[in-house]
Amino acid sequence: MKQRRRKRLTADEYAQGILAGDRIILSRAITLIESALPEDNELAETVLEKVLPQTGNSLRIGITGVPGVGKSTFIESFGKQLTSIGKKVAVLTVDPSSQLSKGSILGDKTRMEELAHDPLAYIRPSASGSALGGVNAKTRESMLLCEAAGFEAIIIETVGVGQSETTVHGLVDFFLLLMLAGAGDELQGIKRGIMEMADTIAITKADGDNLKQSKMAQREYKNALHLFPPSETEWYPKVLTCSSLEKTGLDKIWETIVEYESHMKTKGFFNRKRQKQNLNWMHETIHQQLEQRFYHHPAVNKQMSTMEQDVMNGEQVAIKAAKQLLELYFKS
């Protein structure tokens, strides 16, 4: 029996469904946002424009951490902590992509099974693709759709500490860095820049035999943070301990996030930060669009392989080849 093709929704149908909190339509809208098809891109932009007035009312929380820190376990326990006090939580998880299928390879819904079945929670895994910073290229747009659907806390989980974590920092209001105790040379094992971006550091797995080490790591990080120059926002990052297994310390983390939001709004930095992020979004989009159009330009495509071969063979200087291709693009 031939399977019936699903009816294509209009921009109004997408917008109405999202604003009504329809999870199925929200998921379809995120799929639309992530599509590479030009006709989908145009429809996605219209949908975003229609729901934009209803966005901006959530707390955007970025969570990153060293490998083995237990990000998914933490997010599940932390998400359950938030839903237990009546908060609607959306989790946008970004998985490493398979180089063959380009799809997500970890499967966060299976890693957060309890939270996935919570009626107040919504989990959306996406493949990182070729995007830098451990985020999907359309994470920002997906976040806005979730806000329009009425979610009060948006949690963005990254692939992990490493390449361009500033990308994540540029999406969220609050940046939480998860760390392990007893992993050896904790303070040397992570880039200073990531610690400087963190609004709070949480030492995970602070339970059982690891509790004493976690308290020691907490003191070490507190001392290290005192060496950093004070921020213009006058917010001093806290160092907390928690256990996803025993569900301890999670309430304190949420209290800290709420305290941070209040502090930033009182000092006038909260909206200013979001305005700056929106401007960065515009400039990032310009760069992406220019790059995409350049590489899809017929005249450039015609000369690209020849130029690449010449550069690889040392017959052409890379800078000169790049300039020639750019001139070709702008003249055509």
Distance separating alpha carbons of residues 218 and 208, to the nearest angstrom = 16
Decide: pTM greater than 0.85: yes
Element of type H or E holding 165: none
User: How far apart, in Å, are the Cα atoms of 153 and each of 116, 126, 172, 229, 297?
Assistant: 15, 18, 11, 30, 41
Task: Kindly indicate the confidence band of residue 130, based on its pLDDT and cuts at 50, 70 and 90.
Answer: very low
- Residue 170: the pLDDT is 87
Domain ranges for the chain, please list them: 1-54, 55-267, 281-331
Q: Are 78 and 71 in contact (CB under 8 A)?
A: no
- Residue 308: the pLDDT is 95
Q: Which of the four CATH numbers 1.20.5.170, 3.40.50.1370, 1.20.140.160, 1.10.10.410 does domain 1-54 have? A: 1.20.5.170
| Residue 169 pLDDT exceeds 60 | yes
Report residue 61 as tokens: 């929380």
Q: Are 175 and 167 in contact (CB under 8 A)?
A: no
Which are the contacts of 314, defined by CB distance < 8 A and separation ≥ 6? none
3-state secondary structure of 157: strand
- Class of 55-267 per CATH? alpha beta
Give residue for tokens 């339509």: 25
Task: Kindly indicate the confidence band of residue 162, based on its pLDDT and cuts at 50, 70 and 90.
Answer: low
Overall average pLDDT of the 207-231 stretch: 90
Q: What is the DSSP string of 247-285?
A: TBSHHHHHHHHHHHHHHHHHHT-HHHHHHHHHHHHHHHH
Tell me what percent of the residues of the chain surpass a pLDDT of 70. Answer: 84
Asked, colleague to colleague, whether 1-54 and 55-267 share their fold, the answer is no
Distance separating alpha carbons of residues 22 and 111, to the nearest angstrom = 24
**Torsion sign over Cα 196, 198, 199, 201:** negative
Report pLDDT digits (tens) over 181-200.
875 544 444 556 778 889 99
Instruction: Return phi, psi of residue 231, to 5°.
Output: -80, 155
